[in-house]
A = this chain, B = another copy of it.
Amino acid sequence: MYVDQASKQQLQAALADLESQYARFQAAKLSLDLTRGKPNSAQLDLSNRLDGILDGQYKGADGTDSRNYGGLDGQPEAKALFCQMLGVKPEETLIGGNASLTLMFQTLNYAHNFGVRGAASAWNKEGKIKFLCPVPGYDRHFGICEELGIEMIPVAMDDNGPDMDQVEALVKADKLIKGIWCVPRFSNPSGIVYSDQVVERIAKLAKIAGPNFRIMWDNAYCIHAFHDDAQPLANVMDLARKHGTEDSLLIFGSTSKITFAGAGLAFMGASVENLKHFKKHLGIITIGPDKVNQLRHVKFFGDHAGLLDHMRKHAELLKPRFDAVIEHLDKGLKNTDMGNWTVPEGGYFVSFDSRSGLAKEIVRLADAVGVKLTPAGATFPYGKDPADRNIRLAPSFPTLADINKAMEVFVVCVQLASVRQKLAA
């Protein structure tokens, strides 16, 4: 049904039906959760060999005792393996602790307060600086900007990535814009992959923005495809090298959604010069990362091909969950004017756009019958979705049965909110 084309009688009949369905959900006392991109326990089981895998062999390939202090930027064999995931050279790689979010905060905190190239280049010396935030985006990126007092400017996205005309125009017009957040492959939450042309235009941004500009390239889902022929992503570091803009790039990745979400490894890829400056500050707060866990991961995967094999096992567990979400959306909302959604080929999210002004209401309706959704607005800076449309669906953690139940509820909530809105108009 297209609500905009339906008669009042049709809408009222639909409303009665939807309200009775909704009442049945209420009676069912559900407790379902589609909020966060957490791996499910079958995914975690794939890496259970990690604990104990070293079998007493705590020495690195270069003789380093991984148990002891040292190795600020990580074990060489971990760099050699995971640099391939980041698309950079081993010497452009740093292997950290269990959270890439921490590396992102650190790079921005250092740039903001201590400078990207010494104190004189500190962003906070230039005034209240700004960051571009393609929307919908990742709430934890926005949280870092808020914490540091960096003003966020939303930028539109389409199926190819951020609107680069808008991005370039903004950067050209305002020298206080010091960076941009990007989740370039299977973007959080839209699931889209940046096109080659968009990647190259981003890689060149520093030519407009100047040497202190930084691209926060959070490639969290770089190898998290549901099938082998999913859309690939251009290598941003290669493109930056071509344009002489390597220093503008800060690339992040992790094994959080590959091995153990809370006990994996986080990485950073950056120019040797950027890493040198980063390590000067990093060395103030730590003597080094958990190198034992780095050796575990290297032994577990063996090589990059082993890593990709492992990702295929994740895909087997994730794909049916995403298929279920899309099936429910197709069945209940395709060929209606009640919503649009993405059909991702990888990553952790489906992004749903309702009719304007309904996202909060849909989340409220679902919550009231025991289905938790990511708060509406969370995918926008300051939690404010101006059109109140975007809802992030995260189906990785629940069982297939729970996803089916939750999506049944979700579709009815969307329909109910849409019909009510139209009747009230």
Contact = CB atoms under 8 A, between A and B. Distances in A.
A51 interface: yes
A16 interface: no
A284 B54 contact: no
Interface stretch (A64-72, A196-204, A335-343): A64-72
A113 B105 CA distance: 14
Q: Which of A105, A140, A147 has the most CB of B within 10 A?
A: A147
A284 B51 contact: no
Given A144-B284, A262-B69, A293 B296 contact: no
Contacts of A36: 69
A262 B290 contact: yes
A272 interface: no
A52 B56 CA distance: 9
A41 B71 CA distance: 16
Nearest to A52: B52
Interface stretch (A95-103, A242-250, A309-317, A363-371): A95-103
B99 A286 contact: yes
Contact of A69 (B38, B51, B113): B38
A387 interface: no
Interface in A243-284: 256, 260-263, 281, 284
B65 A41 contact: yes
Interface residues of A, number: 52
Contact of A285 (B53, B54, B101): B101
Identical subunits present = 2
Interface of A: 36, 38-39, 41, 44, 47-48, 51-56, 58, 65-71, 97-99, 101-102, 105-106, 109, 113-114, 140, 143-144, 147, 256, 260-263, 281, 284-293, 296
A114 B149 CA distance: 10
13 contacts: A47-B67, A48-B58, A52-B53, A66-B262, A67-B260, A67-B263, A68-B261, A70-B262, A97-B98, A99-B285, A140-B284, A147-B284, A261-B287
Contacts of A256: 69
Which 5 pairs, one residue from A and one from B, show the smallest C-beta to C-beta distance? A52-B52, A263-B292, A67-B260, A105-B285, A99-B286
Contact of A289 (B55, B147, B262): B262
A71 B99 CA distance: 13
Nearest to A106: B285
A51 B51 CA distance: 6
Contact of A261 (B39, B69, B113): B69
Given A51-B58, A67-B263, A140-B284, 14 more contacts: A41-B68, A44-B58, A52-B52, A67-B261, A68-B261, A68-B262, A97-B97, A98-B286, A98-B289, A98-B290, A99-B287, A109-B109, A262-B289, A263-B291
A253 to B, nearest CB: 16
Contacts of A291: 262-263
A297 to B, nearest CB: 12
B292 A66 contact: no
A192 B173 CA distance: 61
Nearest to A147: B284
A171 B273 CA distance: 42
